[in-house]
Amino acid sequence: MPRVYLDANVWGRIFDEQTQLRIVKEKDAFLEILRISRGAKIEIVSSAILEKEIEDIAEDDKRILILRIIGLFAIERINHIPAAYEEIMNSTNLKPKDAAHIASAVELNAEYFITVDDAILKRGKEIERLYKLKVCNPVKFLKEI
């Protein structure tokens, strides 16, 4: 059963303006990922850095709802930022926050890191080669499993 780590931007996709086809497809794929996790076909994992990023959302309703959804669907969470994030940041040129997410996914033994961040997606092959973590958007993930 694949373990997946969903980037903060994926959790928030349901709140994005649904005016572009890409956003609609990614939102629909995110909802399908949640659905199949309930059927025990995948495991969703989480981290303190993910929840910290969500806690920084200014809109109360959005922040509270996303945190509740994470609490309902994530089966495991780490409460620290793995030390490996610095190595990941240096080897991939990711921002510190993004490197911390990748490090958390690696420490949680996730097979997939699901994001809608184009900068991370562009480094996906490199991240997979270095850390054995597949990086993809929600739509591609559903096609792969």
Prediction pTM value: 0.96
pLDDT in tens, 4-60: 999 999 999 999 999 999 999 999 999 999 999 999 899 999 999 999 999 999 999
Q: Looking at residue 116, what is its pLDDT? A: 98
Minimal CA–CA distance to 3: which of 31, 30, 33, 43? Answer: 43
Q: Looking at residue 128, what is its pLDDT? A: 98
pLDDT level of residue 118 (50, 70, 90 thresholds) = very high
pLDDT in tens, 57-111: 999 999 999 999 999 999 999 999 999 999 999 999 999 999 999 999 999 999 9
Identify the domain containing residue 139 by its residue range. 3-144
We report the CATH number of the domain holding residue 133 as 3.40.50.1010
For the chain, how many structural domains are there in total? Answer: 1
Ranges of H-type helices in the chain: 8-11, 21-38, 48-55, 60-73, 85-92, 96-107, 118-122, 124-131, 138-144
